[in-house]
Amino acid sequence: MHWAAASKKFFPQFVAGTLTFAEQRQLRCREVASRPMSEQEAERLFQDYLAKYEASWVLFGDVVESLETLRRRGFCMGIISNGNLAQQLRKLEALELGAYFGAIIVSDTAGVAKPAPQIFEIAAARFNRSVDQCIHVGDSLTEDLYGAAAAGMSAVWLNRSEDAKTFKESKSLHQVNDLAGLLQLSLLL
């Protein structure tokens, strides 16, 4: 079984709180290896994967300029992630993006995950805003776009893959293929 399939099988259990981050990653390693292994062996395999994964972190070319533009326009920015807080902080540090974000809301510390409306409400509260004063941008149609919309936020699906999935755009739901498109949306001007 491939890593992506194993992730789809076990990561949702971490997000739901039925597995710890360490448990789900060990289960993924055992699944990919297609054999039983000790916790220590699974952890070594995961650490090898993690080193390669983290070494592959790169920014899309439009990220820094777009964040700078949004900052100049006066937007307060935060992150909502279904990941692990420590890993998200490492990623922000490695990519030198931490200074752009005033709040980081992560499912493993928030106690709730996207697409649940509560995680979007938590994010809005961190900025002393109501959800209808916020705009969420994310790359998942279900977790980001529909989750934010269910909470009452305007939402933008950043669909860099130009996936054929479609939805009905509206005053509060949008789709862009890159951050240049995001910056041109009337709700961000």
Q: Among 129, 65, 127, which residue's Cα sits nearest to residue 97? A: 65
Collapse the DSSP code of 90 into the 3-class scheme (helix H, G, I; strand E, B; otherwise coil) and give the result. helix
| 51 HSE (CA, 13 A, CB side) | 5
What is the rounded CA–CA span in Å between residue 44 and residue 20?
A: 17
The string of pLDDT tens digits covering residues 122-155 is 999 999 999 999 999 999 999 999 999 999 999 9
Residue 175 CB coordination number (10 Å): 19
Residue labelled with tokens 């980081």: 104
Model pTM score: 0.88
